[in-house]
Structures are given as structure tokens and as C-alpha cells.
Amino acid sequence: MSEHQLNQISWNKLNGLGPEGKSPYFQQDGRTFHALVAQQFSRPMLEDLCSLATCVRKIAKSREGCSFLQSRLFDKRAMLYFAQPSTRTYLSFDSACQTVGLDCMDVRDSSTSSEVKGESPEDTVRTFSSYTDLIIMRHPAGGFAERIAWMLSNTSRPVPVINAGSGKDQHPTQALLDIYTLERSFEKIGGIDEKKVAFVGDLKRGRTVRSLAWLLTQYENVKMYFVAPQELQIGEDVLAQLDAVGVPYEICYEFETIIPEVDAIYMTRIQDEWDIDNESSLIDTSEFYFTKEYLNILKKDAVIMHPLPRRKEIDVAVDSDPRAVYWRQVRNGMWIRSALILSIFGLDGRVRDYYKEEIS
């Protein structure tokens, strides 16, 4: 089965129920169980997670708050299984776990010793699940996190799975942190509704763009701009989805002219680690770099985002501008992941209560 087909399955599941007549994504009370694909998050869920992330962020400012957050999950344990290395995402989850007081174990190798001994990937993860209460997993194979989530749902000791990136298609917590960053950035100017968002760079292969574009369709009158050289433009399947829900967009081949128009510029990196025949190195993308001069034509309330790591797409001289929010984006990832973990373990309400009583 191709990765595209596996991804289709995800979309289909969201319209109904899984093979056993129950949803793979949600618990009976509607809370998230497995966090596998960006598309499973509805707008109310996104808003809930964002407001919970803000509670966590503000609670964590005081020693008492840190102590409260760390006191909830001492009887649980998470497994950080990164079969595909990703230092950034690994550390973000690790710090999120520490924020909420969840002990971690980690495997950060591309192959475990058990796999070397001929074990199936399913057995490997099932072993991990025996020791833990949550599996946070990054894997090069598309659809793998979903396969594992189904398997673990059908054991005597079901363990939730958070997909920390699988294959080319899904990296749902990146999409969550992007939404949270947009929400925080536009907090005082009416939120995400009515905003114009430009995606710039390698739109063909960047999974963050695909996921975020989908989530943005849930907001009112958001217009998207896809700004890239022809060879790296956004896939037709994404455009078909946008058409299907009636969301407006523009395809642009020229960067400078759209800068003064938009509220958010989402820069991306050329993903040549996916590039088998190394074609991208032949494409000149320098016209799509955000230079210091562009700060002069950018709206004063606009923001520049980047999922990082960056190469040359954004001049380091841009970093000190208050509209450059990519470093804040990094910390937002820690907060939204903390919120997601708390939510999976049913601590949403307890944290909001503490926030109401002690902080706000």
C-alpha cells in the first residue's frame, strides 16, 4: 500500500469509525486518545488545546506552578521512540514530558538491537508499550504510527500513541504548534479568522505545510498563498481539498509582491533529505529567501514563522525583529505538546481549575 493510500485511510476514518467499530483517535468521552494525524483535530479541539497550552505556559512561570504541573503524572511513564533521528522534535517532547512531570525512557537509534535480531517493528513497539503509558514515536514509514496505534488499541493494556512525525505525510504536533503560534500572534487582532497566510519555499514536500493548510480551513475566511518555484509548488491534492471546502487561495511564483499583503509568512526549508535523485539542488530558490530588506514592506502586525531548522531562507539579521516569531514557535511547541499530553491523560480540567484559582 502506498503512503498516499495509507493517508487516504486516515482521512476516511475521520468520516466514520475504525475497523473495530470504534474511533482510533478518541476516547469515549471525546478526548484525544491517539494523536496521529493533523486532520483529527477539529476547531473546538484546537481552541481547547491552545487555551490549555496557555494555562500551562503561565502556570510554569512560578515555582509553585511548576511543582503543581510536575505532581500529576508521577505514576506514568512515556517512551520516546525516535526510529528516525530528529533532535529538535525529540527535545521538544522531552521537555514537554518534564514540564508535566512524566518520566521518560528513550530509544533514539535508527535500529534497535531487537530489530537487528530479527524482531518485527510491531513486536518492538509492543515491548516498549509494556514498560510505559504513552508512546511518542517518530518513524520513517508513512502510516506506521497508525498501524501501531491500532495494534495497541487491541491489546489488554492499550497505550496511547503520539505521532511525532511519520514518513512524508504526517507530523501533527508540528501543525498544532503552528496553530498555537498563529493564535498567540493574532490574539489582540481578532485571532486567526480573516487572516492571510503565505506559505513559502518547498511546498511540494514539506509535510508541515500540508497539515497546517488543512487545519486553517477550519477558521473563517482565511486566505492562503502558496509561494514557490514551479518545481516545488504545493500538491494538486491539497488544492483539491481546499476547493472541496471552498477555501480561497492563490498560487504565486513571486515572493516580494505578496509580502505587504499577508499577516503571516510561513517559510520552509528545502527538504532534500527526501530527495532521492537530488533534483532540488538544481533549483534556484534564492528568490524565496526572506531578507532584512523585506522587513520594511512587511505589515507591522504580521509574523514570520519557520518550522526550523533553517538554512538560508531567513537572514539571521531578521531574528531580532519582533515580528520574527520562529524562536518563540520553538517554545510554543513545548507548551502545546505539554497540553496534548495532559489532555490525553485527562488532566485538562484539573489544570484549568488550578489556572483559574491561582493565576488568572
Active site residues: 88-89, 117, 138, 171
Rule CB under 8 A: say whether 300 interacts with its own copies: no
Q: Which of 151, 154, 148 is nearest to 170 (CA)?
A: 148
Rule CB under 8 A: say whether 327 interacts with its own copies: yes
Cell of 263: 499577516
Cell of 154: 487491541
**Binding residue (CB under 8 A) for its own copies from 29, 75, 284, 357:** 75
Contact 248, 225 (CB under 8 A): no
| Residues in 149-188 that interact with its own copies by CB under 8 A | 155
The stretch near its own copies (CB under 8 A) out of 83-91, 141-149, 169-177, 250-258 is 83-91
Question: Shortest gap between Cβ of 3 and its own copies (angstroms)?
Answer: 20
Rule CB under 8 A: say whether 70 interacts with its own copies: yes
**Binding residue (CB under 8 A) for its own copies from 242, 267, 334, 336:** 334
Rounded to whole angstroms, the Cα distance separating 74 from 79 reads 14
Cβ neighbours for 16, distance < 8 A, ≥ 6 positions apart: none
CB atoms inside a 10 Å sphere around CB 130: 11
Rule CB under 8 A: say whether 88 interacts with its own copies: yes
How far, in Å, are 13, 26, 107 from residue 303 at the CA level? Answer: 35, 33, 36
Question: Shortest gap between Cβ of 132 and its own copies (angstroms)?
Answer: 7
Rule CB under 8 A: say whether 310 interacts with its own copies: yes
Q: Which of 297, 34, 23 is nearest to 163 (CA)?
A: 34
Nearer to its own copies, 78 or 192 (CB): 78
Rule CB under 8 A: say whether 292 interacts with its own copies: no
Nearer to its own copies, 48 or 165 (CB): 165
Encoded one letter per residue, x for contact with its own copies by CB under 8 A and - for no contact, window 270-289 reads ---x----------------
| Residues in 112-141 that interact with its own copies by CB under 8 A | 112-114, 116-120, 122-124, 126-128, 130-132
Rule CB under 8 A: say whether 103 interacts with its own copies: yes
Rule CB under 8 A: say whether 202 interacts with its own copies: no
Q: What is the DSSP string of 279-317?
A: GGGGS--GGG-B-GGGGGTS-TT-EEE--S--SSSB-GG
DSSP 8-state class, residue 322: T
Helix, strand or coil, per DSSP, at residue 104: strand
To the nearest 10°, the Cα dihedral for 157, 98, 176, 252?
Answer: -130
Q: Which residues bind its own copies (CB under 8 A)?
A: 60, 62-63, 66-67, 70, 74-75, 77, 79, 85-88, 91-92, 94-95, 98, 103, 105, 107, 109, 112-114, 116-120, 122-124, 126-128, 130-132, 155, 269, 273, 308-311, 316, 327, 330-331, 334
